[in-house]
Amino acid sequence: MSAASNHFFHLATPGIRKLQPYLPGKPVAELEREYGISGAVKLASNENPFGPSPLALAAARQVLEDLGRYPEGSGWLLTGRLARLHGLERDWVTLGNGSNDVLDIIARVFLTPAHEAVFSQHAFAVYPIAVQAAGARACVAPAHDGSHGPAYGHDLDAMYKLVGPDTRLVFIANPNNPTGTWLESDALEAFISSLPAHVMVVVDEAYFEYVDKPGYPDTSTWLQRFPNLIVTRTFSKAYGLAALRIGYALSHPDVADLLNRVRQPFNVNAVAQAAALAALDDSQHLQDCVERNHAGMQQLTAGFRKLGLPYIESAGNFVALQTGRGAERYEALLQRGVIVRPVANYGLPDHLRVTVGRADENARLLAALQQVLA
């Protein structure tokens, strides 16, 4: 519906009027219905193709017997377990309906129309959405061009130049989605140390469990030294619980107190809480998923090189592939039953983002790409 035909448009806040909603990846069922095909594969939404731990599935099924009851509102067991996992106390934890929920809460707590938030070009699409919904101004730093840092990656010097007296938030995805680029410990720590006290810095570590790059930091261990640091994590990726929507933030208790004031009652359902607790008990499943992701990444990148297609080196469970004419290539892959993610909305119109799938799914994509390029 256009603004002109929406009778209530003028009643909305200015930030909402200008907002373009987040567009999720196309579902398999929608593609098969639209194109009249079957057996499609989805490599579009950075999901774990190997699914959740059997322990998590069993825990979820057990909770289904009691769906008539509200979930435990404070998430007492899960917040306690997460606190122990990170060597913190329970009052450092804020639960979210996915880490997207936590990012939105952070924006609502710290941003007003008088304030600014800084993030990088090609950064996760939820940052500008959350900032604009709060009515605040987005200050977008150009990404590295490859001359003095990894191409498409966060340029911390450029981001720092945008920090001013009205800045309240800086968002940093490490690794970043959709580029897969990452920041090493020394550079990120120096950047956070240099920020003024009135600026909160959010390090989004949604893909933390997948990373095996030298120098990559666990910023949750920095929270005692940086009270203006907020670290976000999720169970949607490596833990395979995307459908249950559960994530969390770690921050100084004074910050967490503010976030928890805004957090909606019962924002994390009982099934998600039980599954997340059980998933934390199955370290072997997590390790297996990570190892299989690394093998799948090697399978894909070797295939891309063979096809002569450039890609951005990634530390996550996805890779941004330069195909040229991204929208056209995306449509051609859809016709062959393969769903990937166009990323023109991230300023990358010549790229497609491909999630690492199972070996057979990766092979299906590579075969489809070969046909499309021919």
CA distances from 274 to 54, 73, 277 (A): 13, 13, 5
Determine, yes or no, domain membership for 290.
yes
Domain boundary among 281, 307, 329: 281
Q: Is residue 7 part of a domain?
A: no
pLDDT tens-place values along the chain, 374 residues long: 566 677 787 777 777 777 677 666 777 778 778 878 888 899 999 999 999 999 999 999 999 999 999 999 999 999 999 999 999 999 999 999 999 999 999 999 999 999 999 999 999 999 999 999 999 999 999 999 988 888 999 999 999 999 999 999 999 999 999 999 999 999 999 999 999 999 999 999 999 999 999 999 999 999 999 999 999 999 999 999 999 999 999 999 999 999 999 999 999 999 999 999 999 999 999 999 999 999 999 999 999 999 999 999 999 999 999 998 888 999 999 999 999 999 998 999 999 999 999 999 999 999 999 999 98
Structure tokens at 202: 């959010």
Q: Are residues 148 and 272 in the same domain?
A: yes
pTM to 2 decimal places: 0.93
**Token pair listed for 283:** 């370290």
The CATH number covering residue 318 comes to 3.90.1150.10
Instruction: Examine the domain organization and report whether 31 and 60 are in the same domain.
Output: no
Q: Any idea which residue has 């952070």 for tokens?
A: 106
Mean pLDDT of the chain: 94
CB 365 within 8 A of CB 338: yes
Question: Is position 174 within any domain?
Answer: yes
Say whether both 203 and 311 belong to one domain: no
In a shared domain, residues 34 and 142: no
Same domain, 218 and 78: yes
Q: Which of 162, 205, 200 has the alpha carbon at shortest distance from 183?
A: 205
Residue 333 near residue 296, CB atoms below 8 Å = no
> Final residue of a domain: which of 251, 281, 311?
281
> Which among 221, 253, 281 is the end of a domain?
281
Total number of domains constituting the chain: 2
Same domain, yes or no: 61 and 136: yes
Considering the domain architecture, whether residues 164 and 245 belong to the same structural domain is answered as yes
Residue 65 CA to residue 60 CA, distance in Å, equals 10
Read off the DSSP letter of residue 90. G
Residues 36 and 66 grouped into a single domain: no
* Position 2 in a domain: no
Distance (Å, rounded) from C-alpha 216 to C-alpha 203?
A: 13
Which residue range forms the structural domain that includes residue 103? 54-281
